[in-house]
Amino acid sequence: MPASYLPEHAVKAYQDERPSVTRLILEARWAHYRLTDTLEHDPDSNTTPALRRLKLLHAGALIDVLALRTRDPDLYEAARDHGTALREVDGLSLDDHPHDGLDHLRSEYARFHHHTDGDAYSAPHDAVDSLPTMRPFRQTGPRLVRHMLDTYAWTQLGRTSRFPAVDVASEQRRHRITRGLLLDWAATAAPADNAAAAAAATAGHALRAFDRKAALDDLHARAYLLDTLRDFDDQEEDDPHPHDCAGRCDGTGEVLTVLTWEHHGDDNYTAVHQEPILCVGGPAAHTLECSTCGGRGFTYAAGYRELCLDGRIADSNPVVPPSAPQEA
C-alpha cells in the first residue's frame, strides 16, 4: 500500500481532507464534551440542537474511518446509524433525499471542512474483498469509541466543583487506554499510517508513566494498552450475555437504542439521537416507582423527549393482563 494512500481515501470526503485518526479523535471528543457539558449545566440551552448535530457529525466520521480501515461490521452499522440520525436532525427523509445516512454523513463532513462534494466512490486501490482486521479485545468497536468519548468528558467535568463524586484519575486512565487502543487498532489495520502507530506508542508510554511503570520499547508499550483493557474486560464481563440473548445484543451486552426524539406537535416525534446502552437481557420494562420520570419511561424538556434509563428492569416475567382468557 503506497504511503500516501489509506483505506478511507476511497471516500472523496476523506481523500480531499486527509484527516488523521488523531485529529478525528480530537474533533469527536471535543464535540461530545461540549454536548455533555451543556446537558449537565444548561439542558434547555438553545445551543443544544447544534451541539447534538456536531457530536453526530464528528463521532460519526471517526467511526466511519475506523470502519473503512478495519472493515468491522459493528463500526459500519454505527457509522450508518450516526448518518441516519444526522439526516433526521437536518430534516431530511428518504422521500426527499437520494442518499442514505452514510452518504449524508460523509457529505456533511466534507462541507464542514469546506469541500463541496463528499460522495463516496471506489478507488482503484480499494480492496473491497479484504478480510476484516481482527479485533484484539472483547468490546465492540462502537462501545470502545463511546467509552473513549465518555471518559474524556467526565475527566473534564470531574475537575469542576459540580461533580465531586467523579473519580477523575480513574476516568483519565480509562481514557488513555481507550484512546490508545483506537489508535493502535487503526494503525494495525493500515500499516502505512506511521503517524497512528507513533501516536499509539506514545499513548502506551504515557499510560505506563501514569501507572508508574518502567519504560518499554514502542511495541511493548502498545501491547500494554491491550493488557490493561483486558483487565477491565475481565472485571466487567464476568457474566457475559449469550449470543442468542433475549435482549438482542448478540452477546455484546449492549443494544443500539433511540434515546432522544424531537417533538413536532400533535404528539408527533422523530428520532434524533441513538447510541448503545446496556442490555438488560430481555425486553425492558420500567418501574412505576422511578424517581426520575415517575414511571412514564420518558422525560420531556425543551421540545425533546428523552428515554429514561434509571428505572429500566428486565421484563423476564411479563404479567398476564387480567382480561386475558384463562384456561380451565
Residue 31 — very low, low, confident or very high, per pLDDT cuts 50/70/90? very high
Of residues 267 and 324, more confidence is placed in 267
Instruction: Reply yes or no on whether the pLDDT at 120 is more than 50.
Output: no
Q: Please classify residue 327 by burial: count the beta carbons closer than 10 Å to its beta carbon, then call 0-12 exposed, 13-18 middle and 19+ buried.
A: exposed
- Angle, alpha carbons 97-101-105 (nearest 5°): 105
Model pLDDT, residue 68? 93
Strand order in the sheet with 269-278: 269-278, 254-263, 304-307, 298-301
Mean pLDDT of the chain: 81
Each residue's pLDDT tens digit, 275-313: 778 787 777 888 888 878 888 888 888 788 888 888 787
User: Which stretches of the chain are assigned E, i.e. beta strand?
Assistant: 254-263, 269-278, 284-286, 298-301, 304-307, 312-314
Other residues' Cβ atoms within 10 Å of the Cβ of residue 185: 27
Average pLDDT of the segment spanning 201-209: 95
Average pLDDT of the segment spanning 25-34: 96
Nearest CA to 77 out of 274, 267, 316, 311 is that of 274
How far is the C-alpha of 147 from the C-alpha of 175, rounded, in Å? 7
Model pLDDT, residue 323? 39
What pTM value is reported for the model?
A: 0.70
Each residue's pLDDT tens digit, 170-195: 999 999 999 999 999 999 999 999 99
